[in-house]
Structure 1
Amino acid sequence: MSVDTSRRIVLLRHAKADWPDVADHERPLADRGRADSSVAGRRLAETGIAFDLALCSTSARTRETWKLAVHELPQRPRTVYEDRLYDATLGDLLALINETPDDVTDLLLVGHNPGMHALADAMAGTDSGEHVARMTRSGFPTAAFAVIGVDRSWKSVELGVGTLQEFWAPHD
């Protein structure tokens, strides 16, 4: 695959979590989160994106979100559970993108805020207008996703080089 191939990064924030008396990493989804995960999966399927690779945080709520969302996709992508997505900084997220193999065209990250919102905002170039405005208005709520297009190799992706092609939130 040529390094100048159009690629997409989809950032999916985990769905609404419950607050039981457990460590943050082990928090499960709330009932609303389980319902929203399936809705997000159906909406991801409607985009027509055939993900080559999904990187999912190891937290219980992200794993559960992904398990319910992926069930709605026409084809299950290779999935890697990645510790670095939990509590990831903007730099951590960019490093994961830069490490993506060149044979991956469409990458999905299932993670947490504030990282998902920060990355979507920082990646969006100046021609992302209406989608950035919608994301700014709604924040990056649980079960929301952003689709970012980039026209370069993964290792040369940096902040500001993408186009926010779509932003979706379940209760928007």
Structure 2
Amino acid sequence: MLKELVVMRHAHAVHPSGWQADAQRPLSPTGREDAFAAGIWLRDTCDQPDAVMCSTALRTRETLVQLARAGCLMPTPEFEPRIYEASLGDLLEVIEERIQARPALERLWLIGHNPGLEQVLFHLDAAARLYALPPAGLARLQIDRDARPTDPGAATIATTWMP
């Protein structure tokens, strides 16, 4: 049963160049530094996840690379195209499907984009409205053991990290 959900917004990406597709924007130098720093925080603060789900966008994949460089131990990430440009409903569906596929899942990391990730925070913990999720920002949520993990108010933000 899911006990902890870490949501992380990708680190800062470069602005689009010419006709470059949004999904193909790489991290900026600052973004790489911030993602590495977030990785150090995750490594030192959070237990190893049982699963990592990540958008297919280049900037989220490069964010994951920096987390690994910082020493985060994690299973092979699952790249989910629905996380890119996802609504709250899309993200809750992705989380639910992952939980249903693996009921013993306790710790899940979700790496994606705003506004969807902030909407997940607001949905799961009403107090989250006090937080904005900047590039490379993350929140660690503790899931109420008596709640369905995707129900409104099912979690409490335990800690956050912002660059």
Q: Same fold (TM over 0.5)?
A: yes
1:55 and 1:110 map into 2 onto residues whose CA distance is 6
Aligned pairs for 1:37-48 (under 5 A) are 37-48=35-46
1:154 and 1:84 map into 2 onto residues whose CA distance is 25
Q: TM-score, normalised by structure 2?
A: 0.89
Unaligned runs of 5+ in 1: none
The code of the aligned residue for 1:41 comes to G
The answer (yes or no) to whether the contact 1:99–1:154 under 8 Å persists in 2 is no
Q: TM-score, normalised by structure 1?
A: 0.84
Hey, what does 1:35 align to over in structure 2?
33
Size of the aligned set, in residue pairs, is 158
Runs of 4+ off more than 4 Å: 152-156
Q: 1:15 to 1:7 in 2, by over 3 A?
A: same
Report the alpha carbon displacement of residue 34 of structure 1 after superposing the two structures with TM: 0.7
1:145 counterpart = 2:143: no
Partner deviation per Cα, 1:83-120 (whole Å, 9 max, x = no partner): 01000000011111111221211000000000111111
Unaligned runs of 5+ in 2: none
- What is the percent sequence identity of the aligned residues? 34
The code of the aligned residue for 2:30 comes to R
Root-mean-square deviation (CA), in Å?
Answer: 1.9
1:154 and 1:25 map into 2 onto residues whose CA distance is 34
Aligned pairs for 1:1-172 (under 5 A) are 3=1, 7-19=3-15, 20-21=17-18, 22-100=20-98, 101-125=102-126, 128=127, 133=130, 135=131, 139-152=132-145, 157-170=150-163
2:76 and 2:103 map into 1 onto residues whose CA distance is 15
1:9 and 1:68 map into 2 onto residues whose CA distance is 20
